[in-house]
Structure 1
């Protein structure tokens, strides 16, 4: 790749900038009152009654959105949005920038390796990987703009002409009417709510199965909230409702629990997880220990496109599907290029999950959305990721650094 850079006089990266934004968008939990995504959803904090009704009550939205911009010597600007807010902005400006500025636009692999190993003493997962992911996605966006190609073409080209989607939200029955191939609903009651909570969970599943009919995919997202015994009980009791999968039932580090859960699921029910996992090493644990049938990395959290490619190759060797968590255009460009990613997730960000709206609204312009649960790959045919930052959004740059310093 370096020889190609020299031959084509690929520009050098001059500036990296990190901004924060509040209110929806990449930090999709940062919503106003009355949104389904904050309505008594089971979480690891549900064991405390004071933090049970609202996820915002324990601070799920405190970080806000991180916006990363990278500008090259020719004036091209690539950008990306993810979560991480001000702490991630500090990491980008005061640590990661040194690995980016002065590099050529196409040196993405080397930049990623230096960002990861340069932060190894305090990083590896979580907030640091969010920051690395934001920089990596901005670099792919910039490279696409320099080469005037969409990212999916940079990744080797599409393997299908159309993407198909399942919907995540409170109303799978409405998702069915909108043409999605399936609906994934949040689990509302965790183990601390006892037998009564379990029966309420099952009653909602029964009601939704009746509404969507026997053939529509129906899934449940447990958001790390269960213990192994409860997860097994829930899955076995829900067998009669034909769940396609049970998602992220346990804390992300409980690889042993996931392996045991997968072995005890009813026949035909899949075990999925990985939304809060990061890097090829984390996913290697999930895959080699037989923890799940589908991995669900978030491209804005797992290490960006550069690392997602490695994760996907590892999953392919283990005959596991890769269905990225949400992340809109950042995952659509990836899914279009992978045989082991046959469909994608669409997060229903309408407060009542009753209409299709852009996931990262109002932060992105030109963000494509499915129509009747599908999207032609040609909708992605714009340079980079094909979206622009909405100039109406009030960006805040909390930290400054001297380029090259």
Structure 2
């Protein structure tokens, strides 16, 4: 039977947590003196919100089929992304078959290429694509992971990103990724503090637990190299993540050559599309790529990125992104584990990653989620009806 055609596309802004997980209240670990590219300016060093990391808010995309079925997704992008979705991208969906996601993606990307290619525009395209896959799963009464070929393992296992890997170990996670707190502008004293925090955490978790560092694009090549060597020698660091600007492919290639043998270099959270990830892999910039499915182009593009990584023998561990990653990771042999963002302020509890926006979002139990927890149609979550939606544009 043919699927009902797409009738309407809508885009909304939501504030407070959820997909824009930096939009948190005071006292949250995610905004506590974390090193950033803006850390060179003392006035923007203490809080990431001080330089506007949370200004956009969450983008919610709804795609309604002619029979009334609604697929939806959340990502970042806020009001500017709403404009792109409503005024530009909607024309490539309405009246179309929802199964035509390849043609739809191609038209969205190449029609915006002259002002897009990365960043906000790809975030918007990603949100539309994820909503389209959610709709397709609901129309076919299948979870997205079944549409992608089915699960290759019976459960997902996770490492935790947050300020307390010691607590993450107690909760059953396989590793913990700490935010780096001090960047190059804070000099040798800051480097010593970074190493001291890491070695203190190593003493708490023992030698058999993974420890990683998330550097959030904040370092230069010299600092990253020195940090990597000391962190490896003094604290047994497993990987150093996103140490440099995402555009510095040459720096990443040099870093990968210069770190201690056995220490992994990872990046890709802020990379986009098959072409960006092809650069990372062909130039041998990293050991693990970390695309965010809500930012890199959606599921349709992630398939291409993952297939290229598989052909190159490169591991892919997607960045965060809740159910949108879970449904993909469980179908891939070269994605053996997943990331869980600890969104509790402490973080001393496991809470849903995109709360309060999603209902029915599965969370790890003892660091794991069973494949059966993903068996609802689409991505298996619903939009919280108590969240106020603002639709700034219509078409």
Is TM-score (shorter-chain normalized) higher than 0.5? Answer: yes
How far is 1:244 from its partner? Answer: 0.7
Of 236, 239, 260, the residue aligned with 1:242 is 236
CA offsets per residue over residues 92-149 of structure 1, 9 Å max, x none? 0000000011110111111000000010110000000000000000000000000000
Of 148, 153, 156, the residue aligned with 2:149 is 156
Partner of 1:218: 211
User: What aligned pairs does 1:3-22 form with structure 2 within 5 A after superposition?
Assistant: 8-22=1-15
Partner of 1:326: 320
**Structure 1: where are the runs of 5+ without partners?**
1-7
Residue 348 in 1 paired to residue 342 in 2? yes
CA distance in 1, matches of 2:57, 2:394: 19
How far is 1:24 from its partner? Answer: 0.2
Secondary structure in structure 2 of the residue aligned to 1:97: helix
CA offsets per residue over residues 139-160 of structure 1, 9 Å max, x none? 0000000000000000000000
Secondary structure in structure 1 of the residue aligned to 2:251: helix
Partner of 2:269: 275
Q: Is the 8 A contact 2:232 2:238 kept in 1?
A: no
CA distance in 2, matches of 1:9, 1:216: 51
CA distance in 1, matches of 2:348, 2:144: 31
Partner of 2:109: 116
Secondary structure in structure 1 of the residue aligned to 2:177: strand
How far is 1:239 from its partner? Answer: 1.3
Secondary structure in structure 2 of the residue aligned to 1:358: coil
Residue 48 in 1 paired to residue 41 in 2? yes
Secondary structure in structure 2 of the residue aligned to 1:46: helix
How far is 1:53 from its partner? Answer: 0.1
CA distance in 2, matches of 1:143, 1:400: 23
Residue 72 in 1 paired to residue 65 in 2? yes
Partner of 2:253: 259
Of 294, 301, 305, the residue aligned with 2:299 is 305
Secondary structure in structure 2 of the residue aligned to 1:225: coil
Count the aligned residue pairs.
Answer: 394
Secondary structure in structure 1 of the residue aligned to 2:61: strand
Residue 395 in 1 paired to residue 395 in 2? no
CA offsets per residue over residues 208-239 of structure 1, 9 Å max, x none? 00000001000000000000000000001111
How far is 1:286 from its partner? Answer: 0.2
CA distance in 1, matches of 2:310, 2:347: 33
Residue 206 in 1 paired to residue 202 in 2? no
CA distance in 1, matches of 2:98, 2:224: 46
Partner of 1:384: 378
CA distance in 2, matches of 1:180, 1:9: 44
CA distance in 2, matches of 1:377, 1:52: 41
**Structure 2: where are the runs of 5+ without partners?**
none
TM-score for both structures, normalised by structure 2 = 0.99
TM-score for both structures, normalised by structure 1 = 0.97
Partner of 2:25: 32
Partner of 1:3: none
CA distance in 2, matches of 1:142, 1:239: 45
How far is 1:82 from its partner? Answer: 0.2
How far is 1:317 from its partner? Answer: 1.2
Secondary structure in structure 1 of the residue aligned to 2:266: strand
Q: Is the 8 A contact 2:22 2:30 kept in 1?
A: yes
Partner of 1:143: 136
Partner of 1:58: 51
CA distance in 1, matches of 2:125, 2:144: 18
Q: Is the 8 A contact 2:13 2:59 kept in 1?
A: yes
| Runs of 4+ that moved beyond 6 A | none
Of 189, 204, 207, the residue aligned with 2:182 is 189
CA distance in 1, matches of 2:267, 2:313: 15
Residue 296 in 1 paired to residue 284 in 2? no
CA distance in 2, matches of 1:179, 1:136: 33
How far is 1:10 from its partner? Answer: 0.9
CA distance in 2, matches of 1:80, 1:141: 7
How far is 1:318 from its partner? Answer: 1.2
